[in-house]
Structure 1
Amino acid sequence: MKRLNILFIDDDEVERMKFSRVCSRSNYKPTVIEAINGEDALSKLENPSSDIIFLDLNMPKMNGIEFLKILKADKNLRIIPTIILSSSDNYNDLKTCYELGIAGYIIKPLRLEDYTRNITTMLDYWTNNELLN
């Protein structure tokens, strides 16, 4: 079974801790690299070793959509599957992200059980996805 390298981009420290905790308690034990905004994430992608990206939309400096436009314009980086994990349920955000080529969009659930189930489902899918094997 492949062990994923995940780039998790969110400016909220509590969200980063929650995501890392869910990942470490999963059966997959992925490596999680954290970034606090789009600029930070781009610097961590200079040596691309990320298999998948989880991206928040609402961040300072460079928001998720700005980051996504840069990522998907880069021929070496655009193949990295990107999942939006955001509190935004704005239809225009959703539509724009899919037009830019995301692999999924999850609205952050309030309940930890729902959050854990959503993240675990993504880990299961992407750990077994042929693109990443």
Structure 2
Amino acid sequence: MKTTTSLIYMADDDADDRYFIRQAIHATDPSVTIIEAEDGDHLLSLLDNWSQEPSPHPVHLILLDINMPKSNGLETLLVLKANPMLQYIPTVMFSTSAHPDQVATAYQSGINSYIQKPVSSLDMKPIAQALNVCFLNAGSI
């Protein structure tokens, strides 16, 4: 049985995409806390603040868009995986792009999963359910 609230950090430069992802995740589990960033630099700043907390709440998942201004998803992923405090947090690349080279590079860089964003926000619910089962509640099944 799940005993703690799940915490997700999400970086995506598209406010609509963040909204639809957030809505789908909250429809699956309203107790999930989602902290949003507009780009990779913003995400890294938020995670740096998190790591400075005396007893930081565990981060259960990081969602990264691949195409963002400033630090894109792949650049951000490399920084995450190089940080001993962040490297083991499951990280999912969530992008409109499904170019095979980008997908391969993301996996080679340490991504745990690569999900192509659906065309319709209605198709976001099964993705949120899969994230919930695979990353947020994996230990409670």
Q: Which TM-score applies when normalising by structure 2?
A: 0.86
Give the drift of 1:63: 0.4
Structure 2 counterpart of 1:13: 15
Amino acid at match of 1:19: I
Structure 1 residue ranges, 4+ long, deviating more than 4 angstroms after superposition:
none
Distance 2:137 2:127 in 1: 16
Identity of aligned residues (%): 33
Distance 1:24 1:114 in 2: 15
Distance 1:74 1:53 in 2: 14
Give the drift of 1:28: 5.1
Structure 2 counterpart of 1:123: 132
Distance 1:42 1:57 in 2: 15
Q: State how many pairs are aligned.
A: 131
Distance 1:127 1:58 in 2: 25
Structure 1, unaligned runs of 5 or more: none
- CA deviation digits over 1:74-132, x for unaligned, max 9? 111110100011001111110111011111000001123322111221112222223x9
Q: How does 1:39-54 map to 2 (within 5 A)?
A: 39-46=41-48, 47-48=50-51, 49=57, 50-54=59-63
Is the CA contact (8 Å cut-off) linking 2:9 and 2:61 kept in structure 1? yes
Distance 2:122 2:130 in 1: 12
Distance 2:25 2:82 in 1: 29
Structure 2, unaligned runs of 5 or more: 52-56
Q: Which TM-score applies when normalising by structure 1?
A: 0.91
Q: How does 1:1-133 map to 2 (within 5 A)?
A: 1=2, 2-27=4-29, 29-46=31-48, 47-48=50-51, 49=57, 50-130=59-139
Amino acid at match of 1:93: Q
